[in-house]
Structure 1
Amino acid sequence: MRITVAEHPCGRLSDAWRFAVGTGRFELALRRDYQDSLALIQREIGFRHIRGHGLFSDGVGVHRPYDYRGERHVRHAFTYLDQVVDAYLELGIRPFLELGFMPADLASGDQTVFWWRGNVTPPRSHTEWADLVRATVGHLVDRYGLAEVRGWPIEVWNEPDLTDFWQDADAGAYHRLYEVTAHAVKEVDAELQVGGPALSPGAGDDWLPRFAEFVTDRSVPVDFVSRHAYTSGPAQHVPFGVHQTLAPAARLLEQFASPRQQLAGTPLAELPVHVTEFNSSYRPDNPIHDTAFHAAYLAPVLAGGGDLVDSFAYWTFSDMFEEQGVPTTLFHGGFGLLTHRQIKKPTYHLYAFMSRLGDQVLARGADHLVTRDDSGRVTVLAWAPVDVTGRDPVDGHTVRLSLPVAPARTAFLLRSSVSEEAGNAWRAWCELGRPASPTAYQLDLLRTAAEPARRHASLPVVAGRVELDLHLTRHEVTLAEVTPVTDETPPWWDERRLFGREPS
């Protein structure tokens, strides 16, 4: 059945998908490969904020206690912090600050998480923690200006509902940390944005209402609420990786919607909602992240997520990420849109396609999104349905559209696609024998294989419309750009004369 797309917009496309993106721990941004990868991301996609763990962990070196004349003092050192933030701003992206984890010399215990040992215990001195927060935020304001830093959301901790990330998942202890932190931030400037509680997908339905009750009863500042969203089941471990079942992608959208549902009727009901992490699997070693399936799986989430939340940050932009240790192969199931050395994954192209859409929504469907920009260019993002069990793969799917086009005789179609066969560096890597450390030649091959398939055509415009049939192969995501043509061919042009023949 052909879908007739209306001429007039039915809404505007939210750009909540590009508000933020995730990253590995804070000090990884000092590395060349990291900055090269982020520069590529910013050129071709363009995120606004970046969020990761470990700002206060020892690898960044902000909290530096020392003894002098028998008394304890603390020096707050910003050497690495400044280099990272300077690099971010030079690349056109701003921090989404996550305040954590606990510096070892301030921690009340020795429980850590990840290969790089982020401490997840409360501070042994809330006064010293508040000093750390004030000093850090105050330094950022002094260095980058109040108007700039007011635009950086400041999130308190990460997934305190999980024992892995917060000792005993103690809600009372987190509320105390949040209260101290929020007041310390506001002491620097009342208009700085502070929020939380950055809950995991498995948080009980009572966590967010209890947080709302606490901050309301004690008049604690909160400017936004945050949570995370994932859809994978328990990890089935293999050496250097995992496999997991997946829920349908609609489950991500349900998780996006849950904060406003849980906060309905509370004073926090109208606050912005930021999903500060989302992906399919919560593991950085699940090969599903590298596949064409993954792009098709997430396409409806990117197309519709902005209707539910103010932002949803893909976790993460790069495979430079070491929570489970240093990766052992180029493709290893990392979270990233890019591998190390800037090999683009199919999901990278999904984001790049989103960046080329117009802001006027003409139509939405279960397998497509149609937009238009102010120049009259009509863009279609379409995706093949996926089967999360892998038992019944969809090998062919067609989206048939009748598109309204500005007055013209013809329109130019540019179509870009990723699928099992195209724009799929992971598949090419498998065919190369899965080299753990590809040679320079193999890296060039993979970069070539990673590019989408592109084709173009001239389409007739009849009665102000173009008929477009998009035949999609298995796990294909395609971007079709339809631009009305202004014909400037000179009257003397004759195709036959290319070969020197005289016109008849």
Structure 2
Amino acid sequence: MGVLPPVARFFGADEPNEATTPDGKVLLAELGQLSPHQTYFRTHNLLTTCDPSDDDTPRLKWGCTNAYTEDSYGNPIYNWTIIDEIFDTYLERGVKPYAQIGFMPRALATDPEPYTFLFNATNTYNIIFTAWSHVPTSWQKWGELVFQWVKHEVELRGADEVNSWYWEVWNEPNIGYWNGTEQQYFTLYDYAVYNVRRALPTARVGGPEVAGGPSGTWLGLFLDHTINGTNDATGGDGSPLDFISFHAKGSPIYVNATNSAPGHLQMNVSASLQNVRDAFAVISSYPSQKNKPVIIGEDDPDGCAACQSDAYNYRNGLIYPSYTAVAFSRDLDLALRYNINLEGTLTWAFAFQNTSYFDGFRVLATNQIDKPIINVFRMFGKLTGERLVANSTGQLSLDTVLADRVRGASDVGVLAAYNQTEGKLAAMVWNYHDDALPKPDVQITLDVSGLDTHWQGCESANLTHYRIGPTHSNSYTKWLAMGSPQSPSRAQIAELKAAGMLQTLGSPRNVKVESGKVEVAFSLPIHAISLLVLEK
């Protein structure tokens, strides 16, 4: 089936300054070691102005760098100190920037007040859309800011390094993140990418990071503009576009108790997959664009990492990683269906410093303790090489999941790959349902055939069985068993950190290879995931 794209290596957050906190540094180091493939990080607010100007403390949905201010005469003042600190923190830990060009500095915003905001987990979301979302007072000053930024990065780090980054323009310009019109976003994009390329002609540029898949005609009109629209920065036709990006989100709800079922969380993976399907359909309708890399720039179960509600109570436990396994594997299936060059699926989750343990935010770790979700990315990191044909009698069809969600039978699915260089075969198996309700374990028999093609004469193989489940790779259930301490002892913290690592189901063992076949049987609890790695 061709090389399995290493899509699960992109992450992001609203708050850029979290990267340089103690918790952020620890987590970035872990992200940099997830797989043999390069990890990237995307963040908002890299050009946002601090308010007050000397306070770059991170807070929910806010961050700032003071990259651009003006003197009393309106002359630009560029300051890359905070951006340098953030990007240094990434690079020192093996992570590269997926650099978002935004948001609007206060000195450039057409209506600069109010600029800052204070968000809490239960606020109305729209309070965040202040002056940073506005159109610039001068397109030329906006373009020059981008040029000076990229020029600085090239001078500091070298062209080869910066060429390995992604540069994208803004975030979700089809909703409140952009206060201007669609055409004004095209102008914003033209000036940004023209000046990125003016500083580094070989830089990788893209967008539009639109919310809701294609968002009706939005994505198509953007592609039309990049192909043959008038470039407002140059006056020529079209605008550079090296990769295409959009966002996809699920839609979880809380279901109130009935006579037949208790109140419970209910996920909706099909909502996200419909976004992906619809965006892929638009992209594939443009022959000149079909081979370009595509990145799902946010691919999450819901739309607000910094919000809390009963509908978001999936974030600490097993349903989050199992949802992600289903969503990302079906993204790959949709890419095959629409002949899309899918390069990445980005998880919008990181860490918040100085919050309570297992607070319910969409984060990968809590107080330097890894949540179960991060272990699914460790599993994806071990799926390398050629994608194999893999079928499960319990796996719902792609069209069934798209149309009917996962509300009847569970989705017991599989994704497999073979790394010929390392002589390793890996198969990820999940047991997923949208409802966060108890269900019986399923009995799995994994049949692997055709091994004699690569393992001639091999009579046994080494099996390592990784598991994310109720008692494996699960710091949350360990924390609950301790009584949910908010001031855990050093011994408890050490125990929780160990529980947060990817763990095996027993020790590695030898299994028989007969006529090129291996058979492995095991039980799999609801919302658990197994990764079986066979080595000759």
Please tell me the TM-score bracket, short chain as reference: 0.7 to 0.9
- The answer to whether residue 101 in structure 2 is matched with residue 99 in structure 1 is yes
Hey, what does 1:463 align to over in structure 2?
515
Hey, what does 2:11 align to over in structure 1?
21
Structure 1 contact 420–474 (Cα < 8 Å) conserved: no
- The answer to whether residue 170 in structure 2 is matched with residue 157 in structure 1 is yes
Aligned counterpart for 1:377 among listed residues 424, 443, 465: 424
Instruction: Call closer, same or farther: CA 1:162–1:394 in 2, change over 3 Å.
Output: farther
Aligned counterpart for 1:414 among listed residues 459, 464, 487: 464
Instruction: Call closer, same or farther: CA 1:146–1:257 in 2, change over 3 Å.
Output: farther
Structure 1 contact 66–74 (Cα < 8 Å) conserved: yes
List runs of 5+ in structure 1 lacking aligned partners.
Answer: 1-9, 237-242, 321-325, 485-504
CA offset digits 1:159-195 (Å, max 9, x no partner):
11112x122x631222221122222222223322222
| 1:64 counterpart letter in structure 2 | T
Q: Report the Cα offset of residue 85 of structure 1.
A: 1.7
SS across alignment from 1:205: coil
Q: Report the Cα offset of residue 76 of structure 1.
A: 0.5
Q: Report the Cα offset of residue 283 of structure 1.
A: 2.3
Instruction: Call closer, same or farther: CA 1:465–1:339 in 2, change over 3 Å.
Output: same
Hey, what does 1:323 align to over in structure 2?
none
Instruction: Call closer, same or farther: CA 1:213–1:411 in 2, change over 3 Å.
Output: closer
Hey, what does 2:52 align to over in structure 1?
none
SS across alignment from 2:315: helix
Aligned counterpart for 2:155 among listed residues 142, 161, 166: 142
Structure 1 contact 259–273 (Cα < 8 Å) conserved: no
- The answer to whether residue 279 in structure 2 is matched with residue 259 in structure 1 is yes
Structure 2 contact 252–301 (Cα < 8 Å) conserved: no
- The answer to whether residue 481 in structure 2 is matched with residue 438 in structure 1 is no
- The answer to whether residue 73 in structure 2 is matched with residue 61 in structure 1 is no
Hey, what does 1:30 align to over in structure 2?
20
Structure 1 contact 387–393 (Cα < 8 Å) conserved: no
Q: Which has the higher contact order (CA 8 A, sep 6+)?
A: 1
Aligned counterpart for 1:126 among listed residues 135, 139, 146: 139
- 90-99 vs 185-194, which moves further: 185-194
Structure 2 contact 319–436 (Cα < 8 Å) conserved: no
Q: Report the Cα offset of residue 271 of structure 1.
A: 2.8
| 2:302 counterpart letter in structure 1 | S
| 1:313 counterpart letter in structure 2 | L
Q: Kindly report the root-mean-square deviation, in angstroms, between the aligned alpha carbons of the 2 structures.
A: 2.6
Hey, what does 1:275 align to over in structure 2?
296
Structure 1 contact 160–198 (Cα < 8 Å) conserved: yes
Hey, what does 1:490 align to over in structure 2?
none
- The answer to whether residue 187 in structure 2 is matched with residue 176 in structure 1 is yes
Structure 2 contact 214–275 (Cα < 8 Å) conserved: no
Structure 1 contact 229–252 (Cα < 8 Å) conserved: yes
Hey, what does 1:395 align to over in structure 2?
441
Structure 1 contact 397–472 (Cα < 8 Å) conserved: yes
Q: Distance in 1 between matches of 2:343 and 2:355?
A: 36
CA offset digits 1:267-296 (Å, max 9, x no partner):
544432211111112222433122111112
Hey, what does 1:52 align to over in structure 2?
43
- The answer to whether residue 386 in structure 2 is matched with residue 360 in structure 1 is yes
| 1:354 counterpart letter in structure 2 | F
Q: Distance in 1 between matches of 2:253 and 2:114?
A: 23
Q: Distance in 2 between matches of 1:220 and 1:372?
A: 39
Q: Distance in 2 between matches of 1:79 and 1:122?
A: 25
| 1:57 counterpart letter in structure 2 | T
Hey, what does 1:481 align to over in structure 2?
533
Q: Percent identity?
A: 23
Q: Report the Cα offset of residue 417 of structure 1.
A: 0.7
Aligned counterpart for 1:429 among listed residues 479, 500, 503: 479
Structure-2-length-normalised TM-score: 0.78
SS across alignment from 2:389: strand
Q: Report the Cα offset of residue 473 of structure 1.
A: 1.5
| 1:65 counterpart letter in structure 2 | E
Hey, what does 1:313 align to over in structure 2?
346
Hey, what does 1:77 align to over in structure 2?
79
Q: Report the Cα offset of residue 235 of structure 1.
A: 8.7
Structure 2 contact 154–200 (Cα < 8 Å) conserved: no
Q: Distance in 2 between matches of 1:335 and 1:290?
A: 8
| 1:25 counterpart letter in structure 2 | E
- The answer to whether residue 338 in structure 2 is matched with residue 340 in structure 1 is no
Structure-1-length-normalised TM-score: 0.83
Q: Report the Cα offset of residue 327 of structure 1.
A: 6.5
Structure number with greater Rg is: 1
Q: Distance in 2 between matches of 1:282 and 1:327?
A: 23
List runs of 5+ in structure 2 lacking aligned partners.
Answer: 50-63, 120-127, 231-237, 256-263, 336-341, 396-412
Structure 2 contact 69–106 (Cα < 8 Å) conserved: no
Structure 1 contact 339–345 (Cα < 8 Å) conserved: yes
Instruction: Call closer, same or farther: CA 1:100–1:111 in 2, change over 3 Å.
Output: farther
| 2:243 counterpart letter in structure 1 | F
| 1:27 counterpart letter in structure 2 | N
SS across alignment from 2:8: helix
SS across alignment from 1:363: coil
Number of paired residues?
454
SS across alignment from 1:198: strand
